């Protein structure tokens, strides 16, 4: 496995982290995600980490990076399915993921992104498309 | 990793296969999926295999099994993101996945399940909920 699949769901992209992340995989994910945000005109990125029982600072930083890159491309990052133990570890590591929104599950994450889309379109008048 | 995450998306469940399947993982997936179909009252199961570059008869049979179990629980299985080479291999292995619907990507798969849901509800009159 050298690539994590990125699935398009409406105006959002969904990534499920299931495997141990290493440098090359994380870099590939960031590159793929960046390209796909632009090509799919995505407004949100959902990252499901429900399979992760532990996180380290490497994954924490990767999530932060992805959120920062997505924001520059006008897409919001929502981390979904975080286990309680993972939340504790992240805070203990000093990674509060300030640029990242979180949601209990994919459906709530999609709601967040949909709501933001509606707000943006309302602010733009009739939408910019 | 001892479990493949199952994500709920509306009336469907989404599973992304990213790792090499072995006996125990496949059994765990079937059990989890069966429980989740019932608890989430799911009408469809989407299995994304876009990350798989090769399939063997083990994965082919697993997909067939999942489809058969889901059908008994009144949920339709749609395999999405199959690569052309994988389709060739499956046919060569004599596994035509006759009980499984396929779709190009998750969005089209969701459309398939949504359409089936509408048809079922129309047949039931005003719906059975």
**A101-103/B6-9 β-pairing:** unpaired
Q: Give yes or no for B9 touching A (CB within 8 A).
A: yes
Residue A120 to residue A54: CA distance in whole angstroms: 35
DSSP string covering A84-128, please? HHHHHHHHHTT---TT-EEESSHHHHHHHHHHHHHHHHHHTSS--
* pLDDT tens digits, B46-99: 999 999 998 888 999 899 999 999 999 999 999 999 999 999 999 998 888 888
Residue A78 to residue A74: CA distance in whole angstroms: 13
* pLDDT tens digits, B9-52: 999 999 999 988 888 999 999 999 999 999 999 999 999 999 99
More confident residue, B16 or B1: B16
Between the alpha carbon of residue A36 and those of residues A20, A44, A102, A128, B128, the distances in Å are 22, 11, 21, 20, 40
B76 CB-contact burial (10 Å; exposed 0-12 / middle 13-18 / buried 19+): buried
Q: Please give the domain boundaries of chain A with CATH numbers for all domains.
A: 6-123 (3.30.750.24)
Residue A21 to residue A2: CA distance in whole angstroms: 10
Nearest-by-CA chain B residue for A7: B106
Q: Is the pLDDT of residue B106 over 90?
A: yes
Q: What is the CA radius of gyration of chain A?
A: 14
Q: Give yes or no for B11 touching A (CB within 8 A).
A: no
Residue B27 to residue A93: CA distance in whole angstroms: 35
DSSP string covering B90-106, please? HHHTT---TT-EEESSH
- Which backbone phi and psi does A116 adopt, to 5 degrees? -65, -40
CA A128 to chain B, closest CA, distance in angstroms equals: 23
More confident residue, B120 or A77: A77
Q: Is the pLDDT of residue B102 over 60?
A: yes
Segments of chain A scoring below 50 in pLDDT: 127, 129
More confident residue, B126 or A84: A84
ipTM of the complex: 0.81
- Which backbone phi and psi does B66 adopt, to 5 degrees? -60, -45
Under the banding of pLDDT at 50, 70 and 90, the label for residue B124 is: confident
CA B60 to chain A, closest CA, distance in angstroms equals: 18
Residue A19 to residue A77: CA distance in whole angstroms: 20
pLDDT at A1: 60
Q: Give yes or no for A69 touching B (CB within 8 A).
A: no
Q: Give yes or no for A3 touching B (CB within 8 A).
A: yes
pLDDT at B126: 59
| Residue tagged 């429980």 (tokens) | B35
């Amino acid at each position: 496995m050298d690539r994590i699949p990125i699935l398009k769901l409406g105006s959002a992209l969904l990534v499920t982290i299931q495997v141990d992340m290493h440098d090359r995989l994380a870099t590939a994910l960031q590159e793929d995600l960046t390209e796909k945000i632009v090509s799919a005109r995505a407004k949100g990125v959902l990252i499901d980490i429900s399979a992760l029982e532990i996180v380290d600072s490497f994954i924490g930083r990767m999530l932060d990076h992805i959120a920062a890159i997505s924001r520059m491309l006008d897409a919001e990052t929502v981390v979904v399915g975080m286990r309680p133990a993972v939340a504790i570890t992240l805070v203990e590591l000093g990674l509060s993921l300030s640029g990242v929104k979180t949601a209990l599950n994919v459906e709530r994450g999609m709601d967040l992104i949909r709501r933001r889309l509606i707000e943006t379109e309302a602010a733009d008048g009739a939408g910019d498309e």
